[in-house]
Amino acid sequence: MPAPRRLVLGSTSRYRRELLERLRLPFDVESPDVDEAPRFGEQPAELAPRLALAKADAVAARHAAAVVIGSDQVADLNGVAIGKPGDHARAVEQLRTMRGQTVVFHTAVAVVCRETGFRDVAVVPVRVRFRQLVDAEIERYLRLEQPYDCAGSAKSEALGIALLDAVESDDPSALVGLPLIRTTALLRAAGIDPLGVDRDA
C-alpha cells in the first residue's frame, strides 16, 4: 500500500483548524497569503469558491504531492458581501443592519493535489435568520463574545446562537467555517478517507 499523502489546511483560521481536527486526520497548517478582495461586480456566491480554490492552489504550489484544503466564507445580505468586522463599531453596524433579516453564508471548500491533478470545490449556502435585535442585546453580545474575526459578527457555535431565529443548512458545520460533510467527500475523491476502511474487503 502506498503511504498516505500529506494533508495540509491552507488557512489561518483557528475555527477551521478546530473543525478539521474532528476528522482525526494528521494535517499541517499553512497560510495561503491570498488577496481576498472581491473583483468588480463579483457576487458573494462567486467570491467564496474562487477564494477557496485560490487558497488551496497557493499552498499546493508549494507542496505538489500534498492534498491541500482551502476554504472561504462570505456572508451575503441581499447580494452585498458582509465581511469580518475587525472592531466593535463595525460589528455594531453589521448586526444592526442584519437584525430581522435573512443572511446567506456561502461557505466554500476546495481540495487540490497538484501531483494527481485533483482539483474540486463545493459551496454550501447556509440561510441564517437574525432576530429583531434591540441595541442593548447587540451591545451585550459583542462585549461578552467580541466576535470581530467572524464574518457577520456572530459566533453561532457559542453565544451568537441567541441572536438567531433559524439556521437552514444540509451541512451542520458549514456556518462555523468548514463544511465537514463536503470536505470528507472531497477528501475521499482525492484519495484520503477519514475512516480508512476498505469497503471491498
Residues labelled catalytic? 72
How is residue 162 written as a grid cell? 441567541
Dist CA 54 CA 38 (whole Å) = 12
Which of 159, 162, 98 has its CA nearest to residue 127?
98
- The type of residue at 78 is N
Vertex 93, ends 89 and 94: CA angle to 5°? 115
Largest CA-CA distance found in the chain, in angstroms, rounded = 60
